[in-house]
């Protein structure tokens, strides 16, 4: 299944694992997608982000 929707990014918690720093961000999934969120929790899914150029660091 492939879907496209606009999402607001929230979060920003920083953690460290094996000497690397990671920042966790969250998005909200619309209920109208019909996804069983309880089954989705803890699973890895492929996510493609389209970031506007003006939000990229120089």
pLDDT in tens, 41-58: 888 888 888 888 998 888
Average pLDDT over residues 27-42: 85
Distance CA 40, CA 19 (A): 28
Q: Is the pLDDT of residue 1 over 80?
A: no
pTM metric for this prediction: 0.51
Q: What percent of the chain has pLDDT over 90?
A: 19
Half-sphere exposure of 20 (CA within 13 A, CB side): 4
Measure the CA–CA gap between 2 and 24, rounded to whole angstroms: 23
Question: Residue 20 above 90 pLDDT?
Answer: yes
């Amino acid at each position: 299944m492939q879907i496209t929707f606009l999402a607001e990014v929230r979060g920003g918690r920083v953690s460290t694992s094996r000497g690397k720093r990671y920042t966790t961000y969250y998005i909200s999934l619309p209920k109208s997608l019909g996804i069983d969120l309880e089954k989705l929790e803890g699973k890895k899914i492929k996510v493609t982000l389209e970031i506007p150029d003006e939000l990229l660091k120089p």
